[in-house]
Amino acid sequence: MSDDISKILEDWQYNPDAPTVRIIRGEDGREMVQLRIDLGLLQMAIDGRPDGQRPKGCESWLEYYRRGQERHDTAHPDSAPFQLDVEACRRLWSEGIQYYHRYVSFWHLKRFDLCARDTRRNLELFAFVREYGPGDRAKMQFDQWRPYVLMMHARAVATPLAEVGQIAEALAPVESAIDEILDFLDQYGQSDHANESAELADLRRWREELLSRQSPDKEAGEPADIEDLRRRLQEAVASEEFEEAARLRDAIRRMTTN
C-alpha cells in the first residue's frame, strides 16, 4: 500500500474560508475525526488523546502529571508543593493544542456533547497549570486562552438546549461563562477593558437573543411591578445597558421564585 495521500487530498478539497471536517471509519472499525488543512489533513481519535497515544501508560500528559501531583502531596505533606517543570509545560501545551483542533472539529460537526467534553478538559488543564506552573509566564501561556474556551464551552452546552426550546436552561451556562470571564479580567486587572473582549461581546449578544425567544406573555395574576421590571429589562437590552439588564433579570427571578 502506498503512503502517498495525494488521491485523498484531491478528492477532498481544502476550503480556506471554513473548516473542512468529517468523521470517517478506520480500518479497525473505529470512528475518527479528520480535519482538512492546506497541506494535508489531521486525523484524530474520538476518545482519549486525539493522537491515540497513551504517554507513560496514562490517557494524557495531564492525567500523568495530576497523578504525580497527588503522589507528591501524599508523600511530602510538609515539603515544598508540587511544581511543573519546563518540559512538563511543553508537553501539556502541545497536548492542549491537539484537544483544541478536536473540539473545534466537533463544533463544526455539531457534536456539541463532545465539544463540551474537550473544552471542559482544556479548562481543567489551564486550572492545573495556574496551580502548579513554574512561573507567571508559563501560567499565562495557557490561561490567556481561558475566555475563548469558556465561550466555546458555554456554546457547546447551551446550543442543544436552545435547539429544543429549553431557553432558561440554555441561558444558565451562558450567564455562568460571562461571570467567569469577568472574574478572569478582574483577576488580571483588566476589568476596565471588558468592552474590548470579543468573547464577552459574543456571549452577551447570544444571551440577548435567547432572552428574546422567551415567552413575553404575562402570567395570570402576575403583579404589575414584575411587568414594569420586564419593560425596563427590554429597554436596557435595546440600549445595550447589559449590567442594568442583568440586575433587572435577577430581580425578576427573585420575585417569580419566591
HEC per residue, 231-252 = HHHHHHHHCCCHHHHHHHHHHH
Name, in order, each residue with C-beta under 8 angstroms of 20's C-beta and a sequence gap of 6 or more.
12, 13, 14, 35, 36
Residue 63's pLDDT is what?
98
Rg of the Cα atoms in the chain = 23
In angstroms, the CA 124 to CA 102 distance is 16
Residue 235's pLDDT is what?
73
For the segment 215-241, the average pLDDT, to the nearest whole number, is 60
For the segment 162-182, the average pLDDT, to the nearest whole number, is 93
pTM for the complete prediction? Answer: 0.81
pLDDT digits (tens, 9 = 90+) for 41-61: 999 999 999 999 999 999 999
Name, in order, each residue with C-beta under 8 angstroms of 71's C-beta and a sequence gap of 6 or more.
none
For the segment 103-113, the average pLDDT, to the nearest whole number, is 97
Nearest to 9 by CA among 32, 34, 28: 34
pLDDT band (50, 70, 90) for residue 258: low
For the segment 62-85, the average pLDDT, to the nearest whole number, is 94
Q: Which of 16-20, 192-196, 221-225 has the lowest mean pLDDT?
A: 221-225
Residue 218 pLDDT > 50, yes or no? no
* Average pLDDT taken over every residue of the chain: 89
For the segment 181-187, the average pLDDT, to the nearest whole number, is 96
For the segment 209-215, the average pLDDT, to the nearest whole number, is 84
Residue 33 CA, distance from chain mean position: 19
Please give the share of the chain, as a percent, with pLDDT higher than 90.
Answer: 73
pLDDT band (50, 70, 90) for residue 80: confident
Residue 215's pLDDT is what?
59
